Amino acid sequence: MDAAPNVERGRYRAFIAETEDLIAQAQSLRHRAFGLGSADGLDRDSFDATCRHFIVQDVERGDIVCTYRVLHLMNGTEIDRSYSAQFYDVARLHDYDQPMAEMGRFCIDPTVCDADVLRMAWGAMTAYVDRHKVGMLFGCASFRGTDPANYHDTLAHLRMTSLAPEHHAPLIKSQNAVALPKGDYDKSAALRYMPPLLRTYLIMGGWVSDHAVIDMGMQTFHLFTAVEIAKIPVARQRLLRALA
């Protein structure tokens, strides 16, 4: 499968790691960002071998400042081999008949605060989606900590505005599933505490599962999150392709 083209703008370059050394650097950044991994300082698991590893590099310093991995699926018949399928019953997506891509282990160097890094990451992802005619992008959008009650406003807002369409909605599989709360919420607080990656999905017209799953190993909880490429607003598609 052809890789996505390199994307370069300003001081950053986004590309797919093709060497073991670059993949190890990506795993090292994941270890620093998530606080996980082995004694060698790398965060890695069995899914790494079947994924492409995207990198955003500061070309002036040579440092990797962002990484994520992508699992390409021919269609919904393959979704049960995704990382997300460990936690969610995705049977309703089995009949999805277009290519799919799972985006995971997304992280930015904790010492870097530059919105251009996130823009470059999405520019590279857009190039990949276009080249491989991906119909749906999905993954687990994570929140720090293991107590969803700390994010009541955000989760109640998501339940009110952004639930998956019923014919695609993931069902409960994990014993650590927690339903999204109902009731009043503060919208400004909801947006303030929403993870940036999830916010980007929603800006593109994405949706989430009606329940979260607590992941004690990662010390996070997450939502199944997806966006159907054809339903991204035209203006947003234009902006993403400009980045790519």
User: Is 159's pLDDT higher than 90?
Assistant: yes
DSSP 8-43: EETTEEEEE--SHHHHHHHHHHHHHHHS---TTS--
- Tell me the pLDDT tens digit for each residue of 67-119: 999 999 999 999 999 999 999 999 999 999 999 999 999 999 989 988 899 99
User: Is 5's pLDDT higher than 70?
Assistant: no
CA 107, CA 240: separation in Å to the nearest integer? 19
User: Is 35's pLDDT higher than 90?
Assistant: no
Helices 234-243 and 115-131 pack at an angle, to 10 degrees, of 100
User: Is 8's pLDDT higher than 90?
Assistant: no
User: Is 237's pLDDT higher than 90?
Assistant: no
Please state the rounded mean pLDDT for residues 8-23.
93
Confidence (pLDDT) at 167: 97
Confidence (pLDDT) at 2: 56
User: Is 218's pLDDT higher than 90?
Assistant: no
Instruction: Map out the domains of the chain as residue ranges.
Output: 7-243
pLDDT band at 39 (very low <50, low <70, confident <90, very high): confident
The residues with which 66 forms a beta bridge, in sequence order, are 56, 108
CATH number of 7-243: 3.40.630.30
Please state the rounded mean pLDDT for residues 32-56.
89
CA 145, CA 132: separation in Å to the nearest integer? 35
Confidence (pLDDT) at 37: 65
Query: Sign of torsion, CA 90 51 48 141?
Result: negative
Confidence (pLDDT) at 196: 87
Give Cα separations from 217 to 63, 176, 177 (angstroms). Answer: 28, 12, 15
